[in-house]
Structure 1
């Protein structure tokens, strides 16, 4: 991925947080016919805040064609897509101008290790549920559903991905003057789309912009 210097993030914290906040990732396996699946992908260690030594966990239906192509030692790419939004030149109020997209994304490259069937795979499923429910759910207690999990887990394939390279790009209008950055952030903040408001939060945070509370 081409990452211009002004769109790169030096601090690992925002990169890891993007991965945690956007766990429905795209796992890609290269080959003569590349394969991809959108899967829940979580960190094996939720306390890990460094890009070095990250291990990811995911699982899928064993009938997924991608599962049949996975082996220990195979390299994969996992893409975590954060908030993104189209920037119309009308927002700038200047001419000439060009439309663009602002977005945040992380590419994690790593090596696969397949998880044994049965209890080891069940542990991956339970860990995934705990992570996702804690962050996005309402505190659901899975205790009453463990028997159901045990019945369906033979159809589930789990794997871990040992990440050895991470690329991230936070394209947030860094190539524009501060005045135009503020206009773009305000436009996203006033949007009815949740992802746009999240993108505005990213801009206010990473560009250190002042929030215009009166909308002027």
Structure 2
């Protein structure tokens, strides 16, 4: 069994080596590019449960963890594009992914936005094929760990900034004052980090390859749905230039 596992990992190790040599980009057909950088910023802000992806060893393979990610608070207002911004995130320090993280390592953060299945019945033409409309942002950057034993206040700042960002946007502006001491007690188990964003790719696949009449039929079908996610896709389609 051990020999089989080694043979299986050998080509995978070569793949990881290739990945480390070159920068991999999200494939985005021209039709599906975002109209401007604010679309990617908005998607990341409205869909902050992201996936952090990093390379592990040849034996471990890649790591991927779902976690909350926010923009570092700024007095300059909302950014107009992702490159040049700083993201804040945290995970459980018991997660093996945390132990694999190193300062200065390249990372990928994937944000997934509204998406929905498109049935060929909407096209009113034949032959046709089904598809899936979706939106996604891939963010590349450099990670910096925040060690609670050396910078406890910085870790607490990430926790409170995350609560503040999510309560103002998704919650009810809950007052965390009475819970700060509780945050301090659980803080040693929290692995916080910063990511300096170097580049980002976005894909907004919203039936742009179809003629305007067909796109409107797809949009209308989403508007008539009872699904909130379908309504979000329809709203993005309406915003397309």
What interval of TM-score do these two structures reach, taking the shorter chain for normalisation? over 0.9
CA RMSD across the alignment: 1.0
- Rounded to whole Å, the distance in 2 between the matches of 1:15 and 1:86 is 21
Report the Cα offset of residue 52 of structure 1.
2.9
**SS in structure 1 of the partner of residue 125 of structure 2:** coil
2:187 maps to what in 1?
153
Q: Distance in 1 between matches of 2:186 and 2:174?
A: 19
The alignment status of 1:17 with 2:17, answered yes or no, reads no
C-alpha deviation, 1:78, in angstroms: 0.3
Q: Give 4+ residue runs of structure 1 displaced > 3 Å after superposition.
A: none
1:66-215 equivalence runs, <5 A: 66-117=97-148, 118-207=152-241
In the TM superposition, what is the alpha-carbon distance from 1:152 to its structure 2 partner? 0.3
Q: Structure 1 CA distance, aligned partners of 2:178 and 2:73?
A: 25
Higher gyration radius (CA): 2
The unaligned stretches of length 5 or more in structure 2 are 1-25
| Distance across 2 between alignment mates of 1:67 and 1:141 | 29
Q: Which structure 1 residue ranges, 5 or more long, are not aligned? A: 208-216
CA drift of 1:206 comes to: 1.2
Report the more deviating stretch, 114-123 or 104-113.
114-123
Distance 1:186 1:55 in 2: 38
Which piece of structure 1 moves more, 161-170 or 25-34?
Answer: 25-34
Q: Specify the alignment match of 2:94 in structure 1.
A: 63
Deviations 1:19-44 (A, max 9, x none): 00000001011233111010000001
CA 1:179/1:10 → structure 2, altered by over 3 Å: closer, same or farther? closer
**Number of residue pairs matched?**
207
**2:71 corresponds to which of 43, 51, 58:** 43
CA distance in 2, matches of 1:111, 1:72: 8
Q: Deviations over 1:109-158 (max 9, x none)?
A: 11100113111100000001000110000110100111110110011010
SS for the counterpart of 1:114 is strand
